[in-house]
Structure 1
Amino acid sequence: MYVKIETERLTFIRLNQTKLRSEEYIHLRDAINTDGNAQNVGRMTILPATYIGSPRHMHEYAQDAMSYVRHYGTADLFITFTCNPQWIEIKQELFPGQSPIDRHDITARVFRQKLKSLMNFIVKHVFGETRCWMYSVELQKRGLPHAHILIWLVEKIRPNEVDAVISAEIPNVQVDPGLHEVVIKNMIHGPCGTLNQNSPCMMDGKCSKRYPWTLISETITGNDGYPLYRRRSTADNGKSTIVKLNQQDIEIDNRWIVPYSPILSKTFKAHINVESCHSVKSIKYICKYVTKGSDMAVIGIGAENSNDEVTQYQMGRYVSSNEAVWRIFSFPIHERHPSVVHLAVHLENGQRVYFTAQNAVQRAAQPPSTTLTSFFETCQNDDFAQTLLYSEMPIYYTDAIRRIYSVHPSNDECFYLRLLLVNVRGPTSFQQLRTVDGELCGSYREACQRLQLLENDAHWDQTLNDAVISSHAHQIRTLFSIIISTCFPSNPIDLWMKYKDYMCDDILYQIRNRMGNPNIQISEEIYNEALISIEDMCLIMSNKLLIQLGLTAPNRPMHDAFNQELHRERL
């Protein structure tokens, strides 16, 4: 049923792309003034970000999540809440002979209410006052619906307080039999590994979730931004239990316990994995994971029109029974608090205009306002607004977090316009933004130079600093390659030394996976791999080697030897 509903919605978008079109305002105005014909103007409207679940929609939410990181730092808690089919609220609604898998409608309704109750429980200061939160409901093709939740607290959880909030141990059955029952039923991983090679988590003979963990007597901070939780051995007052696997009794100790919050587990009696996250590296991957989108069942199918995002979205789209029911009920797949305001960045008369053939002339004469043009108007009429930066406006005039759209350095004038907006207070117009000491500059770059914003590499440093918060390693390497190839910073080595660890994150992650060793640390060989990737991009962009751009040349023989060593160790 839901597949028919979604197909109708996507068909509407596809069939109405010629009726609803977009164009930069200055181009629309010039076209109308030239021949008065609106029939041949416009860019095809593809699958928009307003379509829930589309790639653009998921990307917007990932960037919005990183806006919370910019304003409030890393999240304190990452929680995965999974529906429990044994909840009494589900079982009491089943007809005789039915199981929860037969009634996805009941499962969806109960999980939705439980999720609302959980969020209300957390926000009501269970872990302290909550600053902001967001969650995404995931409905995979197998398994039960579950929600990924990020929580930011006003008072950060200190390292010495982690054990008071999160446990990775089997509770004492004599002290708390209720919690012991919940943990034994819901919070034991596997078992897998040598005990069960057929477990779904097994990849290349090892557990992809890194179980069993090492037994340690105290919680310590791990290399990837997550703590290594206290997991005491039975000799150190830790507990163990017996579980059945393949009709055999197996003794399980704390190495197999999924981290949980005792108060949440005991209250909701479900699988609730609670993790403490402290680094930007971990939160960056979490935000991407939380908003990764729907399952795909088919890949590698070429469409006739590779630019048709509607077809690309439909190709490989897999809709499970859980997702179908959830979407038919119009339950949200994302929620967050507070909201995020997107602040536009565009050149004068460069805002995007949506129009039809009937209203094109009117749109050309009276273009709609944007957040940027509204900012200028407010500064013209409000003395207080003239003391604010563009990014500071939502703080005082709305109850939302702001996010200024990023601009690629290759779009040079718009990039320098953004640089002015984050440094100049209270501009009243595009012309006033380009005015320095009473003189109108010919370009935004010239205005930046007159204001000494380009005297050193501070603006490139800020550009990369913004990128490391919200972008992944390969994107940061691409940005760095563009900066050194086309923008010619005065000291590229300093920029490399400051951000090289962020540019190597994915390489380190891949090597850890290939070697099956999560404890591998960053090394000169990994830095060299990143430099080779950067040099390859610079050769494509400017036909220059890194040594010609002021950086140390990568050691390509080391690259060959490193790959041979990896291959030998895998064998």
Structure 2
Amino acid sequence: MNFYSYRLMVRPQEQNYILRCRKLYHQYIVDMYVKIETERLNFIRFNQAKLRSEQYIHLQDAIANDANINDIGRLTILPSSYIGSPRNMNEYAQDAMCYVRKYGRPDLFIKFTCNPQWDDIKNNLFAGQSTTDRHDITARVFRQKCKAIMDLIEKLYVFGEVRCHMYSIEWQKRGLAHAHILIWLVHKVTPDQIDNLISAEIPNHTADPELFQVVVKNMIHGPCGELNMNSPCMIDEKCSKRYPRQFTSGTITGNDGYPLYRRRSPNDNGKTATIRMHNQEVEVDNRWVVPYCPLLSKIFNAHINVEYCNSVKSIKYICKYVNKGSDMAIFGVADENRYDEITQYQMSRYISSNEAVWRIMSFPMHERYPAVVHVAVHLENDQRVYFNVANLLEIAAQPPATTLTAFFKLCETDTFAITLLYSEVPQYYTWNVSPKKFQRRKQGTAVHGHPGIFQTDAIGRIYTVHPNNVECFYLRLLLVNVNGPKSFQELRTVNGHLCETYREACQLLHLLKDEAHCDSTIHDASIWAHPQQIRMLFAVILSTCMPSNPLELWNKYKHNIAEDILIRMRHHARNPDLLITLEMYNEALIIIEDRCLRIANKTLVQLGMTVPNRDMHDLFDRELQREQEFNSNDLRLFVQSNITKMNIQQKHVYDTIMQAISNNAELQKP
């Protein structure tokens, strides 16, 4: 079967045959991509022996001992260069935070969804085909639409001059593709400008009938709730998207990342519309409108949700799509001596036919501007090396250059470089891979007072270091605060005194005053990390860094640490407005204490924290809650109506149990 010329040649009445053909076609697409991906992963797997990785100092030790390299390095790794791998997704999320660090919060969040009813798609179908029969056409058209909307935003300044942007493509199971876009503007959007850019109201049918049709068709949520209890957004009989929203006479900026947009009621000159749902007509008002930009909606005739970002926390929304894994659950008996990242990646994959086509055509999953340049951080002789049996001795004798060691050499010869921080170097210098050294940029904006120096928008990102890696963590802290060091020794030298450790150097430079590094570490994590990750980080800091005032850190970030527990209890209580309670904080403390016991075998009391109430943990036992959720009167009536139906053995068991309960006695085993 030819993938690009696939066509259904059946009579219209043969509906079952058509459905079977479509299912086979979708499976054919997925199988095609799975084979492609398997071949790529097999290349990485079968070249592990040729491309082994280990830190340089560990390689030196092995050569000094017995020249045995069989047990050096990771057995099977999936590198970050493989698009879609966990390492790749984590790096992309970290890169996103570089924009926040340099430019602050994003101004706009846009969700652009493919519309299968576009004329560009329908006009290219063969007779008898639907859009579900030609995912290749859908992917090509949506790719062009994504480029078009980005050109409108970047080149035609529909929202103003753009400073930087990033977007990622995502699929929701069998749904069509949609892009999540973050926009940073040169001139920030002020609250009084929101209504000029974003609307959450049904337009006037008489004044703009084209926009009215687009909004009614694409930007009305649901309806759900009492109008449609089977809507996909309904969880525990409540809308997970919190529709219908409340009427608001004017836009109000909140503190949770997004404002409350103007949604006027029909009594306040708000408009209504009639839509058809389940063969009946339903009247909707502004409470059901998803926020949109009128200009973009008219141009693209699609679902384009536009939101004003009022907080840096909104970047979590796009990052969670990049970092989330598959819904697949697996289990098995694993070999503890074997660590295989490729197998773990393959076993956790979910691929829809839409995503398979997109990847087969090599369309980008993520795009951004400006570029983020990664610069290494490592201790002396601790850089990562790539080696095989043939070049082992050569690499061990001469450690390879990294961006960090090249930065030290650059500062020795370049007078401008000594004025820069390590992370600022990529703005003025390019990294030449072949000679492994930095070279001055030849294009960009000329730097005043420094002939031959040009500046670009490139952003340097120093790789993050876990606080558990103590010395490397403090080395990184020095690199982000000390300009133009020429060596590792110079980094440890403060006022002519060569410190024994990087921690001592940080203390002499007052970089550790009032445990500021712990606070800043948790603060950064609270912006981009998930609550589970924040709890793990907090436990590591308590166990290894010994902060002087851990209770102050807990009280400052306890809401971020227990945020997922609050969300879980909201779903369980079927109350989206439920506020966080002491019981939820207590649950988070229990989880943290369990991790501290595993890391350092110490309780929270020993680490300067309060004692969690473990008896309160039963309140969060789902099985216990489920068993307790019954109506005693209904249960009593059920027993009374069915007790006469028991046989002799069942009646004997029932009487024995009830007698033991009445006497508060323990049942005796037969």
1:264-304 alpha-carbon deviations (Å, 9 max, x no partner): 101111111111222233322x13223135755x3223264
- Residues 1:29 and 2:60 are matched in the alignment: yes
Aligned twin of 2:592: 534
Alignment RMSD (CA, Å): 2.5
Native 8 Å contact 1:66 1:287 kept in 2? no
Q: Distance in 2 between matches of 1:570 and 1:237?
A: 47
Is 1:73 the counterpart of 2:104 in the alignment?
A: yes
- Gaps (5+ residues) in structure 1? none
3-state DSSP of counterpart to 1:353: strand
Rate the CA distance shift 1:516–1:78 in 2: closer, same or farther, 3 A: farther
Q: Is 1:324 matched up with 2:361? A: no
CA contact (8 A) 2:256 2:310 kept: no
From the superposition, tell whether residues 255 and 454 of structure 1 become closer, same or farther in structure 2 (CA, over 3 Å): closer
Alpha-carbon distance in structure 1 between the residues aligned to 2:324 and 2:606: 42
Contact 2:540-2:596 within 8 A present in 1 as well: yes
Cα deviation digits, residues 360-395 of structure 1 (max 9, x gap): 222223333222111111111122222222223233
1:228-268 deviation per Cα after TM superposition (whole angstroms, max 9, x unaligned):
22221111111111111111111111121111111110111
Residue 111 in structure 1 maps to residue 142 in structure 2? yes
Contact 2:235 2:571 in 1 (8 A): no
Paired residue type of 2:212: H
Contact 1:240 1:253 in 2 (8 A): yes
Of 44, 47, 58, which aligns to 1:16? 47
Correspondence for 2:418: 386
Deviations for 1:473-526, whole angstroms, at most 9, x for unmatched residues? 222222222223332222223322332332232222222232233323334443
Task: Identify the residue that residue 457 of structure 2 maps to in structure 1.
Answer: 399
CA contact (8 A) 1:137 1:146 kept: yes
Q: 1:543 to 1:304 in 2, by over 3 A?
A: closer
Q: Does the 8 A contact of 1:215 with 1:233 survive in 2?
A: yes
Q: Which residue of 2 aligns with 1:301?
A: 331
Q: Distance in 1 between matches of 2:504 and 2:324?
A: 42
More deviation in 329-338 or 468-477?
468-477
Partner of 2:579: 521
* Contact kept in structure 2, 1:223 and 1:519, CA below 8 Å: no
AA matched with 1:100 = T
Q: 1:554 deviation in Å?
A: 3.5
Q: What SS does structure 2 have at the residue aligned with 1:518?
A: coil
C-alpha displacement at 1:569, in angstroms? 9.5
Q: Secondary structure at the match of 2:460?
A: strand
Work out whether residues 140 and 294 of structure 1, in 8 Å CA contact, stay in contact via their aligned partners in 2. no
Tell which deviates more after alignment, 441-450 or 184-193. 441-450
Largest Rg, 1 or 2: 2
Q: Which amino acid aligns with 1:419?
A: L
Q: Which moved more, 1:208-217 or 1:490-499?
A: 490-499
Residue equivalent to 2:33: 2
The two structures have a TM-score, normalised by structure 2, of 0.80
Match of 2:285 in 1: 253
- Cα distance in 2 for partners of 1:479, 1:16 equals 34
Alignment check: 8 A CA contact 2:258 2:310 kept: yes
The amino acid that maps onto 1:403 is: R
- Cross-structure match for 1:237: 269
Kept in 1, the 8 Å contact 2:215–2:297? The answer is yes
Q: Give the match for residue 145 of structure 1.
A: 177
1:170, CA displacement in angstroms? 0.8
Bigger RCO (CA 8 Å, 6+ sep): 1
SS of corresponding position for 1:133: strand
Letter in 2 for 1:146: H
Q: CA deviation at 1:423?
A: 2.4
Change (3 A) 1:534 1:303: closer
Mapping of 1:35-434 within 5 angstroms? 35-36=66-67, 38=69, 41-124=72-155, 125-222=157-254, 224-284=256-316, 286-292=317-323, 295-296=326-327, 298-302=328-332, 304-305=334-335, 307-397=339-429, 399-434=457-492
Within-5 A mapping of 1:429-448:
429-448=487-506
What is the rounded CA distance, in whole Å, between the counterparts of 2:544 and 2:516 in structure 1? 16
CA distance in 1, matches of 2:522, 2:394: 41
**Alignment-derived partner of residue 538 in structure 2:** 480
SS of aligned partner of 1:456: helix
Q: Please give the alpha-carbon distance, in whole angstroms, between the structure 2 residues aligned to 1:468 and 1:200.
A: 30
Q: Quote the offset at 1:46 in angstroms.
A: 1.1
What per-residue deviation string (whole Å, max 9, x for no partner) do you get for residues 81-138 of structure 1?
1111111111211122221111111111111111000011111211011111111111
Q: CA separation in 1, counterparts of 2:249 and 2:513?
A: 53
SS in 2 for 1:22: strand
Separation in 2, partners of 1:482, 1:234: 55
Shift of residue 560 of structure 1?
5.0
State which drifts further: 230-239 or 554-563: 554-563
State the TM-score, normalized to the length of structure 1. 0.93
Contact 2:167 2:182 in 1 (8 A): yes
Alpha carbons 2:255, 2:310 under 8 Å: kept: no
The residue that corresponds to 1:511 in the other structure is: 569
Structure 2 counterpart SS, 1:530: helix
Distance 2:616 2:71 in 1: 56
- Partner residue, 2:658: none
Q: Return closer, same or farther for 1:107/1:240 CA change in 2, 3 Å cut-off.
A: same
C-alpha distance after superposition, 1:318-355 (max 9, x if no partner): 32221221111111111111111122111101111111
- Give, in angstroms, the shift of residue 563 of structure 1: 7.4
Return the offset for 1:34.
Answer: 4.4
Q: Is the 8 A contact 2:255 2:311 kept in 1?
A: no
Partner SS, residue 548 of structure 1: coil
CA contact (8 A) 1:39 1:357 kept: no
Contact 2:76/2:340 (8 A) holds in 1:
no
Distance in 2 separating the partners of 1:537 and 1:316? 26
The 5-angstrom pairing of residues 480-499 of structure 1 reads: 480-499=538-557
SS of structure 2 residue aligned to 1:227: coil
Deviation at 1:12, TM superposition (A): 1.4
User: For the Cα contact (< 8 Å) 2:195–2:251, is it kept in 1?
Assistant: yes
Structure 1 residue 434: deviation in Å? 1.5
Is 254-263 or 441-450 further displaced after alignment?
441-450
Residue 111 to residue 553, structure 1, CA distance change in 2 (3 Å): same
C-alpha distance in 2, partners of 1:325/1:265?
A: 26
Contact 1:538 1:545 in 2 (8 A): yes
Provide the residue aligned with 2:436 in structure 1.
none
Change (3 A) 1:482 1:317: closer
Matched AA of 2:146: L
Alpha-carbon offset, residue 7 of structure 1: 1.3
Q: Is the 8 A contact 1:140 1:323 kept in 2?
A: no
Counterpart CA distance in 1 for 2:386 and 2:228 is 57
Counterpart contact for 1:22–1:44, Cα < 8 Å: no
Aligned residue for 1:126, secondary structure, equals coil
